[in-house]
A and B are shown apart, each in its own frame.
Chain A
């Protein structure tokens, strides 16, 4: 046993520990950017991960056909019934057109938000060690993705870009404790701060804190972004209220929010690279999402963007 400390491996461990701690200190000092080593590595791993995500998606959809055969059969029967009903109905062409336009407005984010500049991206990797479902997407600074760009799906907000590499970037989800987003109730305009919570995130939910005791937030209400801080666009759907509870530490209330977007299972997302009011942070006002230690950096970042 005494030989342990004299062995070659022990010396390697000590030397490696010193080097790794050095790398960690360097990485911590350049928060938000990939370090040189990681950038080189992602150049190699990103195409491989992209391919594996593609294959995985293909296999998943192929096997799902067999897994869901009963439900597809039932759904098929239901659809056939609906088709017969629809054929039986006489519907005016203009009505259909109007309806179609309305649905396009609701579903098509681009149509609904003409000021958004979108970039579609594929989820190529998920961090299995992270309980807040952080993931990597296949777009980076070479495609004009910037730090803190909002990431969404057609259903709602997913998170924000927390680290940008040349060909990929890391997305921190709204379920993470690292994010705190200004959010309001769409019906009552009661505001709070949306953040992650360890236990809630395991169920795919987030926490809307600092609601006033006399607020009118109700179960089922839709929560949207407040737009304050200029990080997220205003009125971006986050999710709906599942439950409202009093906070244990103070007199405020908090709500459990079920995100509209499928954060845990999404494979395709959109990055909003530009929108009206982006980076419009008023001096002295806290940015929407920043954890306290990086708020200073963000203000300067967003201010420079505004310029």
Chain B
């Protein structure tokens, strides 16, 4: 019993560590190259893949944690990305439980949708409602490259988290 509990704890600690490492990778200047001037939303991919393998409650929890990390460096009000990421994690978990299969394609679709949702809400609240000039540029010049770049990196996160989940889950059995 103790061994099982220990392994469960190790799994969540491993996920938490992965999240912190991804946060550092995502925000360290000059580490990840840009694609059409945009960087991938690695924490979104992370939250989605956790939700896919561990369910909606884990998706919500890690969505909140990842969003809070994003809020630390973001220029928006603290809590903005926490809220969005929580919804992304929850939606991904629910979609895999009720609507989609747990496979790579679902992960790519949900990650891309997550990036779109996050960027769209950002666009809506930071630019569109203020009527900022050049606001349409955000849709095709920012959101689209972000989605493509994130989608391209999703398989890495998917297979990594799948092996992590399978390995640590099998240890608990």
Contact = CB atoms under 8 A, between A and B. Distances in A.
A38 B78 contact: yes
A243 to B, nearest CB: 15
Given A4-B98, A9-B60, A198-B137, A128 B29 contact: no
B16 interface: no
A198 B78 CA distance: 22
Contacts of B81: 129
Given A24-B78, A127-B75, A9 B135 contact: no
Interface in B7-48: 20, 23-31, 37, 39-41
Given A27-B79, A45-B72, A129 B118 contact: yes
Contact of A1 (B29, B56, B98, B142): B98
Q: How large is the interface on B (under 10, 10 to 19, 20 to 34, 35 or more residues)?
A: 35 or more
A130 B80 contact: no
Interface of A: 1, 4, 7-10, 12-13, 16-17, 20-21, 23-24, 27-28, 35, 37-38, 41-42, 45, 48-49, 52-53, 55-57, 59-60, 123-132, 134-136, 162, 170, 172, 176-178, 197-200, 202, 265, 267
29 contacts: A9-B55, A9-B60, A12-B57, A13-B86, A20-B79, A23-B78, A23-B79, A24-B77, A27-B78, A35-B78, A38-B78, A45-B72, A49-B27, A53-B28, A53-B29, A56-B30, A124-B28, A125-B28, A126-B27, A128-B40, A130-B74, A131-B142, A134-B74, A136-B73, A170-B75, A197-B133, A198-B135, A199-B133, A202-B142
